[in-house]
Amino acid sequence: MRTALLVLPVLLVAFPTALADETNLAGGSLITHFVPEIAYSTEPPPCGDWCCAYEGHEITDPSQENVRIDGPGGAVWYVLAAWSESKEWCGVEFGFGAFDPSIFTFDDFGPCFPVDGLELPTGGWPGPNEGTAMTVVGGNSWTGNWVPVYYFGGYAYSEVGQIPIDVDPQGPFIGFANCLNPPGIFPVAENTPTEFYRGAMGINTEGIRAVPSTLPLAVCCIDGSCLIRTQAECDDLGGVWFPEWISCDPNPCDPEAVCCYGPTQTQCVVVPESQCSALPSGVWHPEWTSCDPNPCQFTPARGMSWGGIKTLYR
**CATH number (domain holding residue 44):** 2.60.40.680
Identify whether 17 is part of a domain: yes
Residue 279 and residue 145 share a domain: no
Within 51-128, where are the H helices?
none
Burial class (CB in 10 A: 0-12, 13-18, 19+), 230: buried
Identify whether 210 is part of a domain: no
Instruction: Tell me the percentage of the chain whose pLDDT exceeds 90.
Output: 64
Query: Quick one: which of 77, 172, 102, 187 has its CA closest to 131?
Result: 172
Helix (H, G, I), strand (E, B) or coil at 94: strand
110-144: per-residue pLDDT in tens? 999 999 999 999 999 999 999 999 999 988 999 99
Q: What is d(CA 104, CA 93) in angstroms, rounded to the nearest whole number?
A: 22
Q: How many folded domains does the chain comprise?
A: 3
pLDDT score at 32: 98
The residue range of the domain holding 273 is 256-312
Q: What is d(CA 149, CA 187) in angstroms, rounded to the nearest whole number?
A: 16
Residue 72 and residue 17 share a domain: yes
pLDDT score at 17: 35
72-111: per-residue pLDDT in tens? 999 999 999 999 999 999 999 999 999 999 999 999 999 9
Residue 197 and residue 90 share a domain: yes
Whether the model pTM is above 0.75: no
pLDDT exceeds cutoff 90 at 204:
yes
Q: 89-117: string of b/e by CB count within 10 Å (b at 16+)? A: bbbbbbbbbebeeebbeeebbbbbbbeeb
Residue 92 and residue 224 share a domain: no
Identify whether 307 is part of a domain: yes
22-77: per-residue pLDDT in tens? 988 888 999 999 999 999 998 889 998 999 999 999 999 999 999 999 999 999 99
Q: What is d(CA 290, CA 296) in angstroms, rounded to the nearest whole number?
A: 10
pLDDT score at 5: 47
Residue 242 and residue 279 share a domain: no
Residue 168 and residue 124 share a domain: yes
DSSP per-residue letters across 192-254: -SS---B-EEEESS--B-----SS--EEEEETTEEEEE-HHHHHHTT-EEETT----SS-TTS
Residue 223 and residue 276 share a domain: no
